[in-house]
Amino acid sequence: MGEGMDWAAAMTETRENAEKAATMAERTLGAVAEMKAESRRSSQAAETLARLDRLAAVVAELGAAQREAQRPQALLAPCRPSWLPTTAAAAAGALLGFVACLWSC
């Protein structure tokens, strides 16, 4: 038959491989823990940004309302006399004066 198996060498090699596998597993678990922590930080940062975005929208609405409230009332509703009632009153007066003049003559 063939040569016999060197059990001592096989056990040494198995131990070395097991140690390498344990080291790699620890590194992998460490990397997973770091990724999870980073994900948690990113999630918290995203929540904070969303809250800040909502707050900025509220501040913008309040600013617009404040600017609207500070506008002078004269700019909001200009109050100028219309020329139509004045012209109609003048025309009616002239017509009445003309009729009165014709009636009295």
Residue 44's alpha-carbon distances to 27, 56, 73, 77, 91, in angstroms, are: 26, 18, 46, 49, 77
Domain chopping of the chain, boundaries: 1-73
Cα first-last separation, the chain: 159
CA 57 – CA 49 distance, rounded (Å)? 12
Q: What is the pTM of this model?
A: 0.43
Mean pLDDT of the chain: 85
Tell me the pLDDT tens digit for each residue of 11-55.
999 999 999 999 999 999 999 999 999 998 888 988 998 999 999
Q: How far is CA 3 from CA 6, 9, 56, 93, in A?
A: 9, 14, 80, 139
